[in-house]
Structure 1
């Protein structure tokens, strides 16, 4: 039966979300993750302000049959214990093999590594592609700090990122992933992904509302409006502490089949702009001495918080530096 004639597609949904710090001495065990399964995945994700929440919202509106498997997430920290990752992967694979969904919709971070594999998402998606087969549809919503790899793109039909840092558009990203999946299912979109990888890690300038990233995202929006057949342009500012080979900034243009030439031109133009602006990606932060001098000069006027950006737990560092103390 042709997909377009199916009255109610069956879409499996899952989430594995972790930003892994490859230099942390502390691995991330199972008990650091919040894990839910089955209908709890849906009830927790609906209205949650997450990419998975956006996916489910759009699929609910389309009236498809949702097949929730699991949601596992943890704050940024060291590499995930490999056996725990394998258990999550096997659980999703078993569900795909048992229920044969028409599509799989995933929220992944994109920069998760295990104590064995630096590209956990690429490994997961490769195995999911084998499980669902070439005609199944796989859609993925990523964090824009993902380490985007060819393995991830080859295995998926839709693979896009949120566009804003701070991440205020993650729900919209999920909704777009869901719309993309439905368009592939009904035959109105045959997506092709074009990747340009720039060998560059950003030491700063990571916010998208100011500085060089604002310019690049404005440029991406302009190119998306001009380039025929362009469905999405995602810019990836890779999480530099993952520590994998081939890391760097990435541009992915997702376009309709037959418009690959314009997609390549847009991706190349954005990649070259990344490289030209490389010296602009800096943060202007105080040294510890400068910060303490400032506090001393304004003693008693207001409370101060001193943050060690080099040992920032939100980026997965262990938070054990005593430099400021």
Structure 2
């Protein structure tokens, strides 16, 4: 029987964000499944929208025996701590080392992990795995669409395969695609030629959405270019908030011949660069967005949905800034809701006060974002929750969620979801679990950039993007970059990066 070692370790790192990812963050998951080890991995990774879950399904259909190591993820944030990285990777690598005879290894990684001691978290993981398994054993990896792919990642993996949707409704499908490519490697006993291209400009995440052009058309063309000669082709727009030389978009192709791989990669690169002008759109200030939404709501039959994009916990924000809440209250918004504001202390105070009570709080604003502060006001406690529920929408795909002690607070006619754990508001259930029915609101403000669209676009009259204070600027050129590749444009058609000094990468030798 074919034996495959499997594991998953995912983190999207915003090096400008206020809070690091600790080991405990990976144990909890923060909107991802909780950490699992050994046989528990195969119990957790089923029937959910995660790359490893899709691979498990396909592997079982192929009759492969899987040797599970570890699976874990944490909400995007600043750097992964050295302690968390080393403890998790040790379990993964030791599990592969102890697995006995193997035919291949599959890993579900993000592709944009930066740690306290490494620029290229995934490159280091793959190097350590490759050292254990040798140069000949197939090593296939699924990646997030926001991967900042590096030469080291390409070198050590036999295939990197990225999601093709944002919102990421195809994470499990990408795991299945990785299994399909691995089957080709196992049958053919021959590796594919690789082609890797890095693009010359950063793409803000709001304009990476695959529901819209130009990205929608780019992925349609990508699918058309895939063939027997080029069985795997990926475009990763990148996560534009990691301050290291390999941050940015990339294309990677695997072909029967080097010429096949190069032709596909070059065609995609030319296509994407040709659309540089199109990665752009309208972003509103908080007051502009709220007033426009209120005006639209007068005649709308469905909610107006606003993305609080700069405080997106899916991009490293702490999900606790108060700029959009202040704008809703300041403009006397009616039948509106905002979520999720991460504030364990306020949630605890609401639970202590009880339903129907009034509480005076310093809500949110605790992450030290410039231009933001706690919102000191009196709220009515409308509903309480233990924070446990299922998120059935297309993005979370049926995951068990644990937001910790949570509350619905009301000020005027504005309702606020307050939680004790953070995860981006990308599912309607994240309002319903504290008693707010999304369809009954005139305006919804979601702390998310794009993932919310998978579940909210079908119920929305119109979508708007607002830029209130937060850790992930809508304009990537606004970040204080110091270590990008010289000449990299900081946004489409933006200024080119020029470092005063070129700092060395942080990539220790493999010991």
TM-score under structure 2 length normalisation: 0.58
Q: Corresponding residue for 2:20?
A: 27
Q: Residue 210 and residue 70 in structure 1: after superposition, are their counterparts in 2 closer, same or farther (change >3 A)?
A: same
Matched residue, 1:82: 82
Change (3 A) 1:293 1:46: closer
**Alpha-carbon spacing, 1:319–1:12, altered in 2? closer, same or farther (3 Å):** same
Say yes or no: does 1:181 pair with 2:174: no
- 1:235 and 1:95, CA in 2 relative to 1: closer, same or farther beyond 3 A? same
- Superposed CA RMSD in Å reads 2.0
Q: Is the 8 A contact 2:297 2:304 kept in 1?
A: no
Judging changes above 3 Å, is the alpha-carbon distance between structure 1 residues 308 and 184 closer, same or farther for their aligned structure 2 residues? same
What's 2:161 paired with?
Answer: 160
Query: Which residue of 258, 261, 264 corresponds with 1:263?
Result: 261
Distance of 1:62 and 1:245 partners within structure 2:
40
Instruction: Report SS of the residue matched to 1:77.
Output: coil
Q: Distance in 1 between matches of 2:305 and 2:181?
A: 44
8 Å contact kept, 1:139–1:177: yes
Question: Is 1:273–2:271 an aligned residue pair?
Answer: yes
Secondary structure at the aligned position of 2:226 is classed as helix
Number of residue pairs aligned between Structure 1 and Structure 2: 314
Residue 283 of structure 2 corresponds to which residue in structure 1? 285
Name the structure 2 match of 1:72.
72
Partner of 1:142: 143
Higher relative contact order by CA 8 Å / sep ≥ 6: 1 or 2?
1
What corresponds to 1:210 in structure 2? 212
> C-alpha displacement at 1:120, in angstroms?
0.3
Which of structure 1's runs of 4+ aligned residues deviate more than 4 A? 295-307
The alpha-carbon distance between structure 1 residues 233 and 318, as it changes in their structure 2 partners (threshold 3 A), is same
Q: Residues of 1 paired with 2:138 and 2:60: CA distance? A: 18
Distance 1:48 1:322, change over 3 A: closer
Give the match for residue 18 of structure 1.
11
SS at match of 2:245: coil
Query: Which residue matches 1:3?
Result: none
CA contact (8 A) 2:20 2:78 kept: yes
TM-score (norm 1): 0.90
- Return 5+ residue gaps in structure 2 as ranges: 27-33, 327-511
Q: Distance in 2 between matches of 1:141 and 1:298?
A: 41
The runs of 5 or more residues in structure 1 that have no matched partner are 1-7
Is this contact kept in 1: 2:42–2:68, CA < 8 A?
yes
**Deviation at 1:292?**
3.4
CA contact (8 A) 1:199 1:246 kept: no
Deviations 1:9-47 (A, max 9, x none): 211110001111110121111111131111110011021
Render the CA deviation track for 1:150-170: whole Å, top value 9, x for unaligned.
Answer: 111111112111111111222
The 5 A counterparts of 1:31-42 are 31-33=24-26, 34-42=34-42
User: Offset of 1:144 from its aligned partner?
Assistant: 0.9
Shift of 1:308: 2.8
Task: State the Cα deviation string for residues 69-124 of structure 1 (Å, max 9, x = none).
Answer: 11111121221111111111111221222224221111111111111212100000
Moved more, 279-288 or 138-147: 279-288
**Is this contact kept in 1: 2:311–2:321, CA < 8 A?**
yes
Considering fraction of residues, name the structure with more helix.
Answer: 1
In structure 2, the partner of 1:220 is: 222
SS at the partner of 1:16? Answer: strand
